Amino acid sequence: LRPVSPGRYEITQRVADIEILPGIPTPMWTYDGTFPGPTIESRRGRPITVTHRNELPVPTVVHLHGGRTPAGSDGYPTDLVLPAGWTADHHTMPDPRAVRTRLTRGYTFPLDQRPALLWYHDHRMDFTAPALWRGLAGLHIVRDDAEEALGLPSGARELPLLIADRAFAADGSLDYPSLDGTLRDRPGVRESFRGGVLGDVILVNGVPWPVHEVDAARYRLRVLNASNARHYELEAVTDDQRRLPLVQVGADQGLLAAPVTHATLPIGPAERYDVVVDFADVPVGGRVRLLNRLGTGRTAEVLAFRVARRARDDSRVPAVLSADLPSWDRPVRVRDFSFRTGRTAGGHGWLVDGRPFDPARTDVTVSFGDVEVWRLVADVHHPVHLHLAGFRVLSRGGRPPLPHDAGLKDTVSLRPGEAAEIITRFDGYRGRYLFHCHNAEHEDMGMMANLDIT
């Protein structure tokens, strides 16, 4: 992806045939004809504009997940980029007079934020899950000088890994069970009311179960779970069944204060982990497999590294990673939000505090600059995401946070029946933002709410 001019990008959303399964074209909805979409790399504090042109057959919305973005560019679910000639009468449609004017839309991102792995994806009301599934997701990496000076593995030894499960019909087309419906009963492909949509093929950067050649050295893996609904618990296992330590250096919103070492790392939809793995003592020719302890059969595998050669390694993992991690105290308010299923006028829904999403309703108003504690409680697994404001996890189930809750997050994966407390300061911009479950099916079925910062 090349900027059209400094700080200005153009992306065309269009249908393209992508070769995901060897030799078979899969028609996908893409950003610029690739899956994942083009990776954007930015510098902290240097604003960019991305103009999106919609050549897909449906309206779209672009959201930069993890971005500290003014509300007008945050991709509100009814803020549509309409395709040419769109005339459908649908309840998510705004004023039809807008139809001719919104074939393209410019999004401005100030990127005045900590360096982090962000991602952009579709966010249209009631239709995010199928749009994500069909391919509308890409990475956006924000960097700065301080992070680069740390000496973490870089260049070819920094690997962004966008992990997503999908299901394919026999002709290679993507099968989204509730709309396409040919694969509902295939083992490993599941659409259930509680779980959301799962696929039986695990893709990493658009490739099923890739094998990546590495040096016998440290690598920085920047992992994103871009799946609609699948949770993973990752571990790195050698041929002789040794687990390599996963040294976490960053979370959703950038570097930790200090590294945290894990044997396994759970990751819910939309979460990111920045992890260093050292292949130095793996014999040349040996493999290290990244496995998913929550999967069965082939969904228990994610990708494999094959150690191709000995090599010199000047990288390091400093004991102190960052000194600018915000930590807030003295919240002015504590609020409670439940994430549960329940009855709605239209039947059953996924609800925040007993209500399905309504773009016309204010659910919470917070004052600009206030520090608040939010207590979130879940019935089943819900990865809860807050736009604009990175937060810290204060507790889970009344206990201290888990080791993988370290650092600044924008998505916290609540386990069944669990409550968690998060703390944040609402600043940056005023306007209407969202918080929601990032299980994409739950989100589309209403588990989303409006947050007005005034």
Question: How far is CA 155 from each of CA 43, 169, 315, 365, 418, rounded to the nearest angstrom?
Answer: 16, 37, 11, 43, 40
Q: Which residues pair with 8 in a beta bridge?
A: 5, 49
Binding residue for ligand C2O, selected from 114, 272, 387, 409, defined by CB under 6 A: 387
Binding residue for ligand C2O, selected from 52, 105, 114, 121, defined by CB under 6 A: 121
Would you call 157 helix, strand, or coil by DSSP? helix
From the list 208-216, 392-400, 415-423, 430-438, the region that binds ligand C2O by CB under 6 A is 430-438
Binding residue for ligand C2O, selected from 114, 124, 385, 442, defined by CB under 6 A: 385
> Tokens standing for 236?
């790195």
Q: Which is nearer to Cu ion, 18 or 40 (CB)?
A: 40
252 to 271, contacts with ligand C2O by CB under 6 A?
270
Q: Which is nearer to ligand C2O, 404 or 442 (CB)?
A: 442
How far does CA 417 lie from the centroid of its chain?
A: 23
Binding mask 64-103 for ligand C2O (x = CB under 6 A): -x--------------------------------------
Q: Is the dihedral of CA 195, 197, 203, 204 positive or negative?
A: negative
Number of residues in the chain: 454
Residue 218 binds ligand C2O, judged by CB under 6 A: no
Q: Which is nearer to ligand C2O, 140 or 218 (CB)?
A: 140
Q: Is the dihedral of CA 322, 324, 325, 327 positive or negative?
A: positive
From CA 198, how far away is CA 297, in angstroms rounded? 14
Q: Which is nearer to ligand C2O, 317 or 440 (CB)?
A: 440
Q: Which is nearer to Cu ion, 315 or 439 (CB)?
A: 439
307 to 326, contacts with Cu ion by CB under 5 A?
none
Closest by CA to 227, choosing from 185, 278, 183, 268, is 268
| Residue 287 and residue 279 in contact, taking contact as beta carbons nearer than 8 Å | no
Q: Which is nearer to ligand C2O, 65 or 190 (CB)?
A: 65
For the bound state, the minimum distance from the C-beta of residue 51 to ligand C2O, rounded and expressed in Å, comes to 21
Cβ neighbours around 301 below 10 Å, total: 15
Contacted by 121, from Cu ion, ligand C2O, none: CB < 5 to 8 Å by type = ligand C2O
334 to 393, contacts with Cu ion by CB under 5 A?
382, 387
For the bound state, the minimum distance from the C-beta of residue 65 to ligand C2O, rounded and expressed in Å, comes to 3
From the list 49-57, 98-106, 129-137, 431-439, the region that binds Cu ion by CB under 5 A is 431-439
Would you call 209 helix, strand, or coil by DSSP? coil
For the bound state, the minimum distance from the C-beta of residue 409 to Cu ion, rounded and expressed in Å, comes to 12
How far does CA 63 lie from the centroid of its chain?
A: 11
Residue 123 binds ligand C2O, judged by CB under 6 A: yes
Binding residue for ligand C2O, selected from 218, 272, 382, 436, defined by CB under 6 A: 436
| Residue 409 and residue 252 in contact, taking contact as beta carbons nearer than 8 Å | yes
Q: Which is nearer to Cu ion, 124 or 387 (CB)?
A: 387
From the list 21-29, 139-147, 414-422, 432-440, the region that binds ligand C2O by CB under 6 A is 432-440
CA dihedral 165→169→174→177, nearest 10 degrees, is: -80
Binding mask 435-454 for Cu ion (x = CB under 5 A): --x-x--x------------
Q: Which is nearer to ligand C2O, 124 or 289 (CB)?
A: 124
Burial of 332 (0-12, 13-18, 19+ CB in 10 A): exposed
Binding residue for ligand C2O, selected from 63, 166, 262, 382, defined by CB under 6 A: 63
Would you call 171 helix, strand, or coil by DSSP? coil
Q: In what order do the strands lie in the sheet with 218-225?
A: 207-208, 201-204, 158-166, 218-225, 272-278, 246-251, 254-262
| Residue 136 and residue 31 in contact, taking contact as beta carbons nearer than 8 Å | yes
Q: Where along the sequence are the contacts to ligand C2O (CB under 6 A)?
A: 63, 65, 121, 123, 270, 385, 387, 434, 436, 438
Q: Where along the sequence are the contacts to Cu ion (CB under 5 A)?
A: 65, 382, 387, 437, 439, 442
